[in-house]
Amino acid sequence: MTGYIEWFDQIGMSDVATVGGKNASLGEMISHLTQLGVKVPGGFATTTRAYQEFLETNDLSDRINQLLTPLDVADVQALATAGKAIRGWLLAAELPEGLKHALAEAYQKLAADSGEDASFAIRSSATAEDLADASFAGQQETLLNVRGLDNLLTAIKTVFASLYNDRAIAYRTHHGFRHDQVFLSAGVQKMVRSDVGVSGVMFTLDTESGFREVVFITAAYGLGETIVQGTVNPDEFIVYKPNLEKGLPAILSRRLGTKATEMLYSDTQAGQATIVQPVASDRSQRFSLTDAQVEQLARQALIIEQHYNRPMDIEWALDGVDGQMYVVQARPETVESRADRIVEQFRLCERGKVLVQGRAVGQKIGQGTARIIKGIEQMAEIQPGDVLVTDMTDPDWEPIMKRAAAIVTNRGGRTCHAAIIARELGIPAVVGSEHATENIENGKAVTVSCAEGDAGFVYEGLLEFQRTTTEVDKMPDLPVKIMLNVGNPAQAFKFSRLPNQGVGLARLEFIINNIIGIHPKALLEFETLPEDLKAAIHKRIAGYADPVSFYVEKLTEGIATLAAAFAPHAVIVRLSDFKSNEYANLIAGDRYEPHEENPMIGLRGAARYLADSFRQCFELECQALRKVREEMGFTNVEVMIPFCRTLEEARQVTALLAENGLERGRNDLRLIMMCEIPSNAVLAEEFLEYFDGFSIGSNDMTQLVLGLDRDSELVAHLFDERNPAVKKLLSMAIESCRKQNKYVGICGQAPSDYPEFARWLVEQGISSISLNQDTVIDTWLHLADAEK
């Protein structure tokens, strides 16, 4: 048996040349990480010597080289013809007798050790695979639920033949690997019973931004091929590494996937070894993993990352029979981990008609002619620069994916095949859009935007957009802190890569409006609602224990994500500042909100929190903030109160915060007040008795000082934060804060719009300027020039 077979527990990363990258990694983990709690199913690998002998015995090496050498990888038809011919040769060939004998002995031992009901996965492992600079994602075959020696021998040949899949030939050519210098090993591994459990993929960084402090996990029912292939939209979890290490609650966010189908073992002996069937709605509408299981997985990912000392891409499976969590593959992450410190930003300059939306992959914008491709036989229709629109992709599509300016799919999550390849190619992709092939017209121009956060959009037409690049390590020093205005938690990791010193304004309104979408009073009074409203709400809160828990948890997730992205810098969270007309637009909102002629100066801010009609809702916000700060340990979160009109309101609202566990000074909590009403500046010193500083809201301050509605086209031309009356009040507020040695920042629009206004604020002695992300670089450089 010597020379043909290596058992996993006898090999490691020094054996890549013998058993390929994937099998070497499995052996490495079994040998070094088992004692640390990482469970990897045992098995064995055929050696590259066995593969080479297979080719030589059947006189295949020269025939393959003669066919491939003149091949033009851009000729899709020639590629397909050559690949099919070579695979046919390998499948028709006989395995050498010595190899068959070695496989028989090894299989019998593995089967005896695994139990009579065990089945096996046969995985491909190439010598140039799973390296730090080449992923070879899905290039070769994996066969599942293989039982019996005869089926094993056939599966081994199928894996050998898959080294010459069209996509594998193209990939090697594009990356400069010689075909006759890449060899294959077949790994034979005991199957984890995730067919009656859960499986998925996890990365030890955020796949879209490269943010290193999190583990990103996807999960769905059944065998993991559905996630890898992109046939299912999985659950998604983001886990914060520092909290894992401290033993604190670590899940930053949860996203419920549709999980419409699952792959199971086939009951029949003949035909396919697996089947795909629908998932019952009650199962699809709950998370496939518990919080404890998510954190258990993330801890295993952390152990693996620390061992390899680089970000990792890991496949895992939860065995539904023994209840154990297993790692079945681990490879280096090869895209975001190599990203440099140059920040590339894309911004749409206009909006168009949205054709579909789904999950954004990457943060770029691409555009071109939409080509709806329903099958691989249409590959020749894709021209360089087209937008590929399809139901889903698989590795056979990679030669044409390289031509696309962007990719749009009906199915798949952020770790599906289309997403992986789009990242590797550096193009935007919108996956899991459900209706792309229906709603996008073939041959029409479209713009694919992944620059707007978690959701990706496909717009009609070629929209104008901007692209900028910045070397963030070369930003000059400033005499003032530059902070960011951030509303969408899904953009937090991306924005954290910009030069910044924290978040000067984190708006709860985005979370409430876009993620929750329901009036908090309706969640508190859920049982009293009409059945139609109950049904609409029930659909949105799927996966959470009850309506109120949904509200608190979603606020907690959003705030915690912002806090983690910018830690240890301060993240100033402004409590909800919806006006009555805005609250009325939420689900069931019209049941609870009054009609006001001028909501801008109506029931909002501190007055709303103190009102009997809203106090319980406000206490839910406090509950979320307390959980983020005290349970999750994000003490960099500070609390900001908007629209506080009077000193009595200041006294009452700070007392209410203290009643709800948010006492000023407790656990270093700072309370900041929005300075946006003339009374705030006039009585600045008195207001500061209740707060640790001001954050100036120049928008509302300007409207109230000048007595105008900037949304009225009749007087909007008079709106200008640079008006002398406005500047005088702002100067008073800044001076009062400086006199008491307290924080004073600005989070209004003016510094983003007017660099000279930002310069004036610095001259007045402001502590920080909080900017919209698209103006950070320009304003920073402008202020640096002014300093010179």
Catalytic residues: 417, 747
728: left (phi over 0), alpha (psi -120 to 50) or beta: alpha
* Residue 160, number of CB atoms within 10 A of its CB: 27
**d(C-alpha 133, C-alpha 125), whole Å:** 16
**d(C-alpha 238, C-alpha 207), whole Å:** 11
Contacts of 459 (CB under 8 A, 6+ apart): 351, 352, 353, 354, 355, 446, 447, 448, 449
CA trace torsion 681, 685, 691, 694 (10° rounding): 40
Cis peptide before 568 (omega within 30 of 0): yes
Buried b (16+ CB within 10 A) or exposed e, 227-237: bbbbbbbbbbb
Residues, the chain? 788
The answer to whether the CB of 51 falls within 8 A of the CB of 170 is: no
**d(C-alpha 779, C-alpha 784), whole Å:** 9
* Phi, psi of 710, deg, nearest 5: -70, -15
Using a CB cutoff of 8 Å and minimum separation of 24, what contacts does 474-477 make? 475/499, 475/780, 475/781, 475/784, 476/780, 476/781, 476/784, 476/787, 477/784
**d(C-alpha 730, C-alpha 723), whole Å:** 11
What is the separation of C-alpha 761 from the centre of its chain, rounded to a whole number of angstroms? 37
**d(C-alpha 323, C-alpha 446), whole Å:** 47
**d(C-alpha 554, C-alpha 512), whole Å:** 8
Buried b (16+ CB within 10 A) or exposed e, 423-439: bbbebbbbbbbeebbee
* Phi, psi of 219, deg, nearest 5: -150, 140
Element housing 524 (H / E): helix 520-524
Strand order in the sheet with 184-190: 5-7, 43-46, 184-190, 120-126, 142-146
Q: Largest alpha-carbon pair distance within the chain?
A: 94
**d(C-alpha 60, C-alpha 372), whole Å:** 38
Residue in 475, 497, 500, 491 with CA at minimum distance from that of residue 768: 500
**d(C-alpha 517, C-alpha 161), whole Å:** 52
Contacts of 189 (CB under 8 A, 6+ apart): 8, 26, 41, 42, 43, 120, 121, 122, 123, 328
Looking only at the bridges linking them, the beta strands covering 637-641 and 184-190 are: unpaired
- By CB atoms closer than 10 A (0-12, 13-18, 19+), residue 340 is exposed
**d(C-alpha 291, C-alpha 705), whole Å:** 50
Strand order in the sheet with 312-318: 251-255, 235-240, 214-221, 198-203, 312-318, 325-332
